[in-house]
């Protein structure tokens, strides 16, 4: 009975999300029930690829990522995978018509993390497109439930939101990325001499994208609007915490929002949503 395996697959994706991301897990709880499992499935798949390139240092990462790519597209074509997370993901891809191009672009960005990169502006935009913007578009396919007109109308702000979230992550993790993984994503920035001016210019770019994304959040269907808004509020709070500290501190420690404050933001966001104060 494949139905049992599909239930197991959905649970694996949900638990993967809960284990790796408190903030996204809280946001997903704000979605209507019919939206939650598809978003868990997308996050679970993305997390698999992230783990390969970020954590599996004692294993053949390039080979494993290639195997993930092959198994993913085979599963989408076949309609099943014995890997529960991939099985859950292929169901969502086929049900909502997620473009295979988005999956390929995402995996291409993951491949870029396998080797040392010098990021010029063009390569930086390519990485952000694949690692974040197309993931937002995968989610948007779910949110708009196959309505192509709504998808195209909300496409640009969804990409801005994904980009802003990723760039906040870059700033939050800049110390670990640079010192532990030997990565430096920001173009034309020497992290060995990371300055407050470098940081300010990056923050101006992020703030512009966050502001542009908010109008799109206001237009999302009610089934997902609260959850996306909560994620937006969390990332904006994290952004402001990072913006208040000097570049030197960002390079020496990971700035974060405590779990207690995340719960406060959750309830505050719910009140604002009910008062139409987005």
Question: Residue 4 pLDDT > 60, yes or no?
Answer: yes
> Which pLDDT belongs to residue 55?
93
pLDDT single digits (tens) 46-94: 999 999 999 999 999 999 999 999 999 999 999 999 999 999 999 999 9
In this prediction, residue 212 carries a pLDDT of 95
pLDDT at 180: 83
Give dist(CA 83, CA 93) in Å, integer. Answer: 15
* pLDDT tens digit sequence for 200-241: 999 999 999 999 999 999 999 999 998 899 889 889 999 999
Q: Are 257 and 217 in contact (CB under 8 A)?
A: no
**Closest C-alpha among 110, 134, 240 to residue 183:** 110
The answer to which of 14-28, 131-145, 204-218 has the lowest mean pLDDT is: 14-28
Residue pair 114/62 in contact (Cβ under 8 Å)? The answer is yes
Mean pLDDT (the chain) is: 91
> How many Å is the Cα radius of gyration of the chain?
18
How many other C-beta atoms can be found within 10 angstroms of the C-beta atom of residue 22? 15
Q: What is the pLDDT of residues 90-114, one digit of tens each?
A: 999 999 999 999 999 999 999 999 9
Tens of pLDDT, residue by residue over 244-254, are 999 999 998 88
State how far the Cα of 241 lies from the Cα of 259, in Å rounded to an integer: 15
More confident call, 277 vs 137: 137
- At residue 23 the predicted structure's pLDDT band, cuts being 50, 70 and 90, is confident
Distance between CA atoms of residues 169 and 238, nearest Å: 9
pLDDT of residue 272: 61
Query: What's the first-to-final CA gap in the chain, in angstroms?
Result: 45
Specify the pLDDT at position 247.
92
pTM score of the predicted model: 0.91
What fold, for 2-274? Farnesyl Diphosphate Synthase (1.10.600)
From CA 148, how far away is CA 154, in angstroms rounded?
A: 10
The answer to whether residues 260 and 64 touch, using CB atoms and an 8 Å cutoff, is no
pLDDT band, very low/low/confident/very high, at 36 (cuts 50, 70, 90): very high
Determine the average pLDDT of the residues in 254-277: 62
Backbone angles phi, psi at 31, to 5 degrees: -75, 155
- What is the torsion angle, in degrees rounded to the nearest 10, for the CA atoms of residue 116, residue 139, residue 263 and residue 166? 20
Q: Whole-angstrom Cα distance, residue 188 to residue 191?
A: 10
Please tell me the predicted confidence (pLDDT) of residue 269: 59
Q: Which residues contact 205 (CB under 8 A, 6 or more apart)?
A: 167
> Exposure of 245 by Cβ count < 10 A (0-12 exposed, 13-18 middle, 19+ buried)?
middle
Instruction: Annotate 42-67 with b (16+ C-beta within 10 A) or e (fewer).
Output: bbbbbbbbeebbbeeeeeebeebbee
Domains of the chain: which residue ranges?
Answer: 2-274
Residues 178 and 247: beta-carbon distance below 8 Å: no
Smallest Cα–Cα separation from 222: which of 148, 115, 144?
Answer: 144
> Are 204 and 239 a contacting pair, CB within 8 Å?
no
């Amino acid at each position: 009975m494949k139905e049992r395996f599909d239930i197991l697959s959905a649970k694996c994706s949900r638990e993967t999300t809960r284990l790796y991301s408190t903030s996204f897990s809280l946001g997903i709880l704000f979605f209507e029930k019919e939206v939650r499992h598809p978003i868990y499935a997308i996050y679970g798949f993305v997390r698999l690829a992230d783990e390969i390139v970020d954590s599996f240092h004692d294993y053949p990462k390039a080979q494993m990522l290639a195997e993930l790519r092959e198994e993913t597209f085979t599963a989408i074509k076949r309609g099943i995978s014995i890997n529960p997370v991939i099985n859950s993901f292929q169901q969502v891809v086929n049900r909502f018509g997620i473009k295979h191009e988005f999956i390929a672009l995402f995996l291409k960005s993951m491949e870029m993390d396998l080797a040392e990169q010098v990021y010029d502006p063009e390569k930086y935009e390519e990485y952000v497109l694949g690692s974040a913007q197309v993931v937002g578009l995968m989610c948007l396919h779910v949110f708009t439930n196959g309505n192509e007109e709504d998808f195209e109308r909300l496409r640009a702000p969804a990409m801005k939101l994904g980009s802003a979230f990723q760039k906040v992550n870059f700033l939050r993790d800049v110390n670990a990325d640079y010192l532990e993984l030997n990565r430096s994503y920001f173009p034309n920035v020497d992290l060995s001499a990371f300055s407050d001016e470098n940081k300010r210019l990056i923050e101006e770019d992020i703030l512009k994208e966050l502001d542009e994304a908010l109008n799109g959040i206001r237009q999302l269907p009610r089934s997902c609007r609260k959850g996306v808004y909560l994620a937006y509020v969390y990332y904006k709070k994290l952004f402001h915490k990072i913006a208040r500290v000097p570049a030197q501190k960002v390079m020496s420690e990971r700035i974060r929002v405590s779990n207690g404050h995340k719960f406060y933001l959750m309830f505050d966001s719910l009140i604002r949503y009910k008062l139409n104060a987005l």
